[in-house]
Structure 1
Amino acid sequence: MDDTRVWAFEESLWTGDADQYHTLIDDECVMVLPEQPFVMTGAQAIEAVADTPRWSEVTFSEQQIMRPQEGLIAIAYKAEASREGATGYTAYCTTTMRRLEHEEWRVVQHQQTLAPVAGGA
């Protein structure tokens, strides 16, 4: 998967619905998010997305892509997301994807760490 497609794939997970998650999140995925229950499986994440308003837009910066072996991509980035009725959300994230077959990829790991609040202690 080329770099442009990697970032489009990742963006779709921020803005897509539960069907998008169901398609792109592996059954064996593990996630760590900054809200309870904190550690989730792929199935739990799909269920959580079904009940959560999606972000209307997200921008990435500080982007890194690593390809440690054929069929495995690990990315790290800063995400800034927004939606109507919500204050901005900023987090540092990692995602690991594995290829199942030609052009078919699934997320096997995702983590978000909230960015420090400017001026905070």
Structure 2
Amino acid sequence: MEDGRVWAFEESLWTADAEHYRESIDESALMVVPQPPYVLESEAAVEAVSRTPRWDAVRFSDQRIVRPQEGLIVVAYKVEASKGGGKTYVAHCTSTYRRIEHERWTVVQHQQTPPLVAEAQLEAG
């Protein structure tokens, strides 16, 4: 998958409907999110992500892509998401995709760390 398609796919995970999430999240996915229960796997990850509010717009920065082996893509980035009513969300994220078949990829790992969480942990350390 070329870089432009990778970022379009990642953006769709923030803005698309619940059905798109269900199709895009691998059945053996692991996720770490900034609210309880924090660590999710398999069907719990799919359910949690499908219930996540959709964002109207997202902007990525500090984008990185690595391809450690054939059929595996890892991305890291900062996201700034927004939706009506002035609600915004900022986090540093990673996602890992694996190729299921030709041109079909699923998310096997996703992690979100809001900046304040990371800064608080460093200060407490």
TM-score for both structures, normalised by structure 1: 0.90
Alpha-carbon offset, residue 50 of structure 1? 4.0
Which residue number in structure 1 is paired with residue 11 of structure 2?
Answer: 11
Unaligned runs of 5+ in 2: none
**Structure 1 contact 97–108 (Cα < 8 Å) conserved:** yes
Equivalent pairs counted in the alignment come to 119
Provide the residue aligned with 2:93 in structure 1: 93
What residue identity is the alignment partner of 1:70?
A: E
Residues 33-48 of structure 1 aligned to structure 2 (within 5 Å): 33-48=33-48
**Which one has a larger percent helix, Structure 1 or Structure 2?**
2
Q: Percent of pairs identical after alignment?
A: 58
Structure 1: 4+ residue segments shifted above 6 A: none
TM-score by length of 2: 0.88
Alignment of 1:9-88 (within 5 A): 9-88=9-88
Q: Distance in 1 between matches of 2:37 and 2:112?
A: 13
The two structures, once aligned, show a CA RMSD in angstroms of 1.8
Deviation at 1:18, TM superposition (A): 1.1
Distance, in Å, in 2 between the alignment partners of 1:61 and 1:10 is 13
* Structure 1 gaps, min length 5: none
Question: Tell me, what secondary structure is at the counterpart of 2:20?
Answer: helix
